[in-house]
A and B are shown apart, each in its own frame.
Chain A
């Protein structure tokens, strides 16, 4: 296990290195830099002033030098300065992480809380009216666009309650935070729970047809015992994988939800930073999201061993 962990650690480093090269190169391939954008807002380009600005920001240095400077800074905890706000990148990124983490956490909680039990029920009662209804709900969850659902929720709130659940200032306490994040989380979780529900259902159906389930039933085990202790434990492995993927996605992929509900999280911030070609923000934020994704994958692998004793890492 120790060897496996060390190998995984180095594999993680290699993955992150690859991502760093990729994001660094891709950012420079995209047309325009911060100087272009700043002058674009002024409706003109002064070539000498632009060159001066590029020099000031170190954008005129060779790409390899810029890359080494970034990685060196990263290794020393110096993420550089945001080109737009002219504040340290860390100071800009850090306060946004808990905002997205709360939203993503709640959305994940919502999707697991609804997705797994309803998937089990749907499988156990296959082809019943309840199963059909749940399948319709899960299909609509997968097919309804997030921005449309979000706007619909906002419109309903304005129309029926005369208020709007969007982020306009930081929540003052736990309950106001819960209220603020739970509605967008439900909007996001609706899609994720639909995915988890469908996967749980199909996985459960497969397991329920296995010989050992028949044996358990023959030995007189109760339905609840068979379904939840014998079947679900084995059916849950692919679901855990999807939950892991969803968790990684939710940390960086909630652009639409954050925009519609005006949540100042990292996904919206990342999109804005890309628009401004704010390299220090984009590079470091993408690296953070990549790290989260890689780390969650690693945790999922470890969870496999915990859930299925037959899996051994060496």
Chain B
């Protein structure tokens, strides 16, 4: 009996260990097929602001430093060297020096040097002779005074004031290093990088083809022979293509909870993950024009919100209530639940709505004489759906709102003109970091500060937190700022959505980032167990 048990145990152990060992050993070869939701505007990451570009293009490039591609929660603590081998801050925290990797070559065979790093940041700051067509993240480098090189393998960033988050921005998928010898215009159509995959071609409405870089500086990588992005505009077709095995991975973060359920029903072997992507849906209230130049009215709108029911209706419960930064546990900097609950509009919905009604009544708006407004938004389902729920919620406080769907291309021009009363907008954060979120969306004069909210005292706190090197102290400051932003009804956050990605079980080493949608597509160590 004991012998039989031992034999059986041996078989079971062998059965468990052999496939495990087999699965752990990466295999070289194969083409990874991913569907892409649209033809990206270009593959020049620096000129674009959508992960439709980052997803296929990140694999072409390298950064100086990069977020660990297998730690879902990206933070300062997960930053790893890439083209840099090490980095060091000066004592006054005003200089950040990187030692660079030697022997790295661009895809066209030219050697990578420190000058390429300087060229990249000169381009980003508009100092170079060559120019980008558009430069959506130049604000990220507003604190950068200059970049100097020492030989071919050392580069120093000189800052105007200490900014620990500068490193976080360098680690983003949005900060690849470009070469000096390839013009900015060519980077849009035929990018040359140092990354694990070389660009082959992009056919509008058809495909994007990347092929393995055999001279990649990380020896033995990448495992894949190439990546083929098939552009499938129709999501229903794309899902069927995934189920039928035409593609191995769905477009990152494109699946809703309902899509995932549908996929799992048709293909139970599929692996799907639904995570926050650090894109929040928010209200923009025009504070420059009547009636919302009255802060009491803005306050009333904020008090009308029932975020939980909005998440339940629009996202089938797959979203999070939060402030301007992604809430924990996935978010690093977001306000904790107890502090959030203290904010106006985040507590008892019925009580808050009574307060809102009282404010409106004081201003003469009642059930018999409701405040009539338009809620403008882009004419896309992800914008329209929450706007419709919002209109219903506003009705509860005697605000009669009408939906004003705006043709997508005219949206930002309309917002920039201030030609709206209340708008519903989506804000994507490139990295989970207070500097990026605060300066980009709430600082005076920023192009993305759509509502023109401007609080000079708070701006001083932005700088204070940005320069703070003690993480705990900084977090405290960040929470203080976020609370003030919500209290001031700068841009009420409705929710942070969770969306999903699915892949076939033979796709190994796939990690989906849980606090951003822009930084996890290097794919150098992805492999196919086929």
Contact = CB atoms under 8 A, between A and B. Distances in A.
Interface of A: 31-32, 36-47, 49, 53, 56, 82, 84-87, 92, 151, 154-155, 157-158, 162-164, 166, 168-169, 259-262, 264, 268-269, 272, 275, 277
Given A260-B234, A269-B205, A40 B244 contact: no
Given A31-B409, A168-B246, 15 more contacts: A32-B407, A32-B409, A32-B410, A38-B41, A40-B409, A44-B49, A49-B133, A53-B134, A56-B133, A85-B189, A151-B236, A164-B240, A168-B247, A269-B205, A277-B409
6 contacts: A40-B412, A45-B447, A151-B237, A163-B245, A164-B244, A168-B230
Nearest to A170: B206
A151 B49 CA distance: 32
Contact of B246 (A31, A42, A164, A260): A164
A42 B410 CA distance: 13
Interface in B181-237: 185, 188-189, 202-207, 230-234, 236-237
B244 A86 contact: no
Contacts of B206: 264
A53 B131 CA distance: 11
B270 to A, nearest CB: 13
B154 interface: no
A264 B181 CA distance: 34
Contacts of B451: none
Contacts of B2: none
Given A43-B136, A44-B448, A85 B204 contact: yes
Interface of B: 33, 39, 41, 48-50, 133-136, 185, 188-189, 202-207, 230-234, 236-237, 240-241, 243-247, 266, 407-413, 416, 427-428, 447-448
A39 B246 contact: no
B407 A31 contact: yes
A32 B381 CA distance: 20
Given A38-B134, A259-B234, A45 B413 contact: yes
B32 to A, nearest CB: 14
Contact of A40 (B39, B188, B230, B411): B411
A262 B234 contact: yes
B413 A36 contact: yes
Nearest to B243: A158
Contact of A45 (B202, B243, B416): B416
Contact of A84 (B48, B204, B240, B246): B204
A38 B506 CA distance: 37
B415 to A, nearest CB: 8
A58 to B, nearest CB: 15
Given A85-B204, A260-B234, A39 B412 contact: yes
Contact of B244 (A53, A162, A272, A277): A162
Contacts of B205: 264, 268-269, 272
B412 A262 contact: no
B424 to A, nearest CB: 14
Contacts of A56: 133
Contacts of A272: 39, 204-205
Contacts of A164: 237, 240-241, 244, 246
A259 B236 CA distance: 10
The 5 nearest A-B residue pairs measured at CB: A32-B409, A42-B136, A164-B244, A42-B49, A44-B447
A260 B240 CA distance: 11
Contacts of B134: 38-39, 42, 46, 49, 53
Contacts of A49: 133-135
Contacts of A151: 236-237
Nearest to A43: B49
A264 B244 CA distance: 20
B377 to A, nearest CB: 14
A31 B410 contact: yes
**Chain B CB within 10 Å, residue with most, of A41, A259, A272:** A41
A268 B233 contact: yes
Contacts of B232: 166, 262
Given A158-B243, A264-B203, A269-B204, A42 B236 contact: no
A166 B246 contact: yes
A225 B246 CA distance: 52
- B232, B266, B413 interface centre (most CB from chain A within 10 Å): B413
B206 to A, nearest CB: 5
A41 B48 contact: yes
A166 B407 contact: no
